[in-house]
Structure formats: structure tokens, C-alpha cells
Structure 1
Amino acid sequence: MNGPERESGERWAAARPVALLLGLVLVAGVAVGVWALLRPVPAQEEQAAARADAVAAASRFATSVNTYDVTDVTAYTDRVASLLTAPFAEQFRTSTDGLLAAYAETGLKSRGKVRQAAVDSIDSDSAQVLVAVDAETTPAGLLTNPPRLRWEVSLVREKGRWLVDDFRAVEAAAATDEAGDE
């Protein structure tokens, strides 16, 4: 190599480690950026956990309230009341004792099973959860209520625990054939 070519080669040889270092820094920066974008942030993790806890609480309630044996009403009301706020537990006990006592002679038993549950709304201390639950009763046909129930369960957070404060039946929306309307 002669003069200018030799100088250019020497400069490149001297700059090569710097270029390699800058390239590695660039790759590391891109990797950190992708990781930061893809990982859930603590607030998202906390909200996802709160949603999961609310769904679990509403599901426990729906299963418990639909699983009973009229020959042991006290065990049933105690079990369900432990999932409720104090005022709602008192209201539940008052309304349930008389209702189930009316079926004592029939030997009515029910077993609830949640089919689906999802959060409708949630904030730091309250949630609305929609629950679809089936109830299988024996003897069959004794109850006139449909065995498939849909509820909106109102929850409040007390001392870090979701408790049921109310619930109400939700009517199933009538299905329409939009494709046939055209």
C-alpha cells in the first residue's frame, strides 16, 4: 500500500474497536427497549391480579349460593355469609332461612357450577362481575327457576379481600339473526 491507502487502512484499524463497541451498544439498546415494551408494568400486573381476584370471589359466591341442601340450612348460610359484607350477610340470612325452610320436606339439593365470569367494571375498592352459572337440582323439576342463571355481582374490597355486597339477575339478551335481516 502506498501513502493515502495506508493511512486510510490505519484509521480504519484504529476506528474498528470503536465501531464494534457502538454496534454492541446499539444492539443492547434495542434489546432493552423491546424488553421494556413487552414486559407488563407493575400497575398492569396489579390490575390483572385484582381482576382475577374479583372474578374468583364472584365465582366462589355464585357456586356457593347455588350449592345447598335444605336439610342443613345453617351450614349453607354460614358458608355463603363468609363471602359477603356484614350488612349483606345479615340480609341474606334473613331471606334465605325462610325460603329454604319451605323446601325442607322435599329434600331439595342444588349444586352450582360457574360456566363463565368476567369483570364488567373495577376500581381500587369495588367491582362488578358478570357470572353465568348452572344449577343442577334434585329432585329434578322441583324448582321453576331456570337452571342457567346470569348475575351481576357487586363486590367491595374490605381489608384486601373482595366481598359480595349485592347481586342481581341479568336477563339474557335476545339473539337476533342480523344476517337474515339484510
Structure 2
Amino acid sequence: MSHVMGQYLGSKERFQVVSGGSEVTIQFQSDPDDSSFILSQGFLIHYREVEPNDTCPTLPQIDFGWISSSHSSPVRGSVLTYQCQPGYDISGSDIITCQWDLSWSSSPPTCVKVQQCPDPGEVVNGARSVRPEAGFAVGTVVRFSCNQGYQLEGPSQISCHGRDTGTPKWSDRSPKCVCESF
């Protein structure tokens, strides 16, 4: 059985019928007392087919990154995965979904330039001191020392340097503490 969306009577003009499906059936019943029926004018119907919108809004590309999609167009349930170029970290959700209400599950993320060097690691049979103590941001200096009976092989300190492209980099490799020979 069909769902009745509305009943329209008289000479009322410009009513609108909207359907959420792909088909609409419009039924007419003539009123023999209507003067237009007597003059054999019948019915005049104007209609326009509107393409259904079943996609989420298109999202822009992100600077210093790219988008991979599970579908060729952003339909309900499709998943966008964001990734950043080397030297950049993602800020925000890297996966967003086109929801049933045709909105995105979150805003697109951004790619932010990495401003830290990776942890250079601890030195076996020795110690390290980091200045400043929080993280390994560009400008950080790490000093190394060895336990008694061991000597440093390599630099006694390294520093984190920023680069125009790619991630920041240490000035040298971390040293090793090797057993002193007698």
C-alpha cells in the first residue's frame, strides 16, 4: 500500500510533492462539477525531476598530504583516509566517514611540519643528559657520558637541527660506550 503524502483540492496552485524514494505516483480524481472539466480543459501538470543527492560534500585536498577514498564518490558509508608527506604529522582525525545524514564524521585534519628529532636512544653502559629536558625539539642538545671503565666512541654531544624538507635530523649518530682496554 502506498503512503499518501498529501491531498490537494480546488484551484490551489504551486504545491510541491517531494519523495525520498526514486518513484512518485500522482493520482487525480476529476470532479464533474468543476467548470474546467465541463470545458474539457482537463489537468495541467508541471513537473521537474531533481537528481537525488546521496553524497557528502566534496572536501578539499590538504596541504602537504593526500586523501585515499574507499569509494569513487563520497557516498554514505564511504571512508576517507588522510596521510601526510614525510616531515609532516597529521593533526586531527586521519579517518573520516560520510554519515547517513550526508555529513562528515569530523573536519578534515591538517598536516603540520614535524619540529622534533626522533629519540636518539639511551647509551649502553653510560648516560645522557638532554637540554631542554622536554622532548627532542629543534635546538635540543644531548650530551653523553660513560660509566667508569668505559670510554666514549663517537661524539660527546649531538644536536637536533631543522631542515627545509623532511623531518629534523640529529647532527651526528649517537655514540657508544666501549670497554677501556688496559
Q: Report the TM-score, using the length of structure 1 for normalisation.
A: 0.26
Larger Cα-atom Rg: 2
Q: Report the TM-score, using the length of structure 2 for normalisation.
A: 0.26
Structure with greater proportional helix content: 1
Structure with greater contact order relative to length (CA < 8 Å, sep ≥ 6): 1
